[in-house]
Chain A
């Protein structure tokens, strides 16, 4: 029980404003990189040009 309490205390100490700021920053970077990797696929393919005459 004592060990668990000290574990919770340690977490509480860690969870300050800076921690959330870094978490948000890292998360945004990871998501941006992931979405870039997904949506960059095929963007260098030639564009369709209509020549239906």
Chain B
């Protein structure tokens, strides 16, 4: 009797604690702080509820990849530039993010994105022979974004089917994740699906129960992780969101300052920041020399993933722009990557953009500009400043008070 009473009391305490955690975590992710958007965190990127809760009427979407993790402590990074410029930009992306994860993210967030404007920072290295790596796709896969994409009633079934097929194909390396997404597809799309063995798996009550329990737990994990990391990184939440007063940064001054700084930090032939060159590239120089003579960007499934991303933008009424980043020409000449095999990427991305009537701003002509990149692919101060200038102009093009 005593044990039963103790169990009941523990159950009540547990329920109160679980509800408390749920409410507390939910409150933590509603930051009402413009800094949330330019806070670079994969915990944020993976959480649909964290991102959606911080999309305001004046929030623009900036999608990219590993470049966001470079130069974070400098005055040239989007975090510093857009924070001071008063522009609310939601940056999503980390190493491993390519067109397909961003297509899913766009499918999920588009209804919440009131500004209806987005930019995708396109990296040439995405367009390798195999396209996105399945392991990296799984490591960066957001179940909540996927679910929100399926729940987006305004997204056409045809596009959903394409995303489902690509996702299922890539998640084969992670059977449990694949099972969860297949279950989510069955429940949210109300249909049967093929099992890995090829037999048809019908939608059942067990599916629904498992789906709702798993969804709840996964959402709790994302909310707790994102909320905790946000607070641990020293940020504050506010009661109400205040739109920023937009002011145009002094781009020229930033570029000059970046050039001066880079000149003092670069003394190698590959136009890289010395610190990175010494630690990351010098040890592998011997093995990398002329190691990529067969490499090419001419053919890649990534071009179709880019088409899928742009098709979703068109379907959802999102005004998109592509920004093509350069490669470090000195490095890729060194590795023997034939120039014609890599330069082809610019024309092919332009072709895809033209198919959808989407503008492409190419920085590909900066491949040999010293100070534009700090290593083989990531922007240095000048690179970030020019990217931010383009992003700022695109996002504020229809705003009278930008100045």
Contact = CB atoms under 8 A, between A and B. Distances in A.
Interface in A38-53: 38-39, 41-42, 44-53
Contact of B10 (A30, A37, A48, A50): A30
Contact of B138 (A24, A30, A45): A45
Contacts of B135: 46-49
Interface residues of A, number: 30
A7 interface: no
28 contacts: A18-B2, A19-B5, A23-B9, A23-B10, A24-B10, A26-B7, A27-B10, A29-B10, A38-B221, A38-B224, A39-B221, A41-B214, A41-B221, A42-B221, A44-B174, A44-B177, A45-B174, A46-B134, A46-B139, A46-B173, A47-B135, A48-B136, A48-B139, A48-B140, A49-B136, A52-B95, A52-B376, A53-B376
Given A26-B11, A38-B221, A48-B139, 8 more contacts: A19-B6, A25-B6, A38-B217, A38-B224, A42-B143, A46-B138, A48-B136, A50-B95
A27 B94 CA distance: 38
Determine the interface band of chain B, counting residues with CB < 8 A from chain A.
Answer: 35 or more
A30 B174 CA distance: 29
Interface in B61-95: 66, 95
A49 B11 CA distance: 42
Interface of A: 14, 18-27, 29-31, 34, 37-39, 41-42, 44-53
Interface string B125-151: 100000001111011110100000000
A41 B17 CA distance: 20
Nearest to A16: B2
A22 B6 contact: yes
Interface in B205-247: 214, 217-218, 220-221, 224
Interface in B4-40: 5-7, 9-11, 13-14, 17-18
Most B Cβ at <10 Å: residue of A30, A46, A47: A46
Interface of B: 2-3, 5-7, 9-11, 13-14, 17-18, 66, 95-96, 125, 133-136, 138-141, 143, 173-174, 176-177, 214, 217-218, 220-221, 224, 288, 335, 376-377
Contacts of A44: 174, 176-177
B11 A30 contact: yes
Given A27-B10, A52-B125, A22 B3 contact: yes
A31 B218 contact: no
A23 B133 CA distance: 49
Nearest to A51: B133
A34 B139 contact: no
Nearest to B376: A53
Contacts of A25: 6, 10
Contacts of A48: 95-96, 135-136, 139-140
A48 B220 CA distance: 23
A48 B45 CA distance: 15
B217 A14 contact: no
Given A27-B10, A30-B11, A41 B217 contact: yes
Contact of B14 (A18, A21, A31, A37): A31
B221 A26 contact: no
B2 A14 contact: yes
Contacts of A21: 6
Given A26-B7, A53-B376, A46 B174 contact: yes
Given A38-B224, A41-B221, A51-B133, A26 B214 contact: no
Contacts of A27: 10, 13-14
Contacts of B224: 38
A44 to B, nearest CB: 5
A45 B139 contact: yes
A49 to B, nearest CB: 7
Contacts of B221: 38-39, 41-42
Interchain residue pairs A-B with the least CB separation, the first 10 = A26-B10, A22-B6, A48-B139, A46-B135, A27-B10, A30-B14, A23-B6, A23-B9, A38-B221, A46-B138
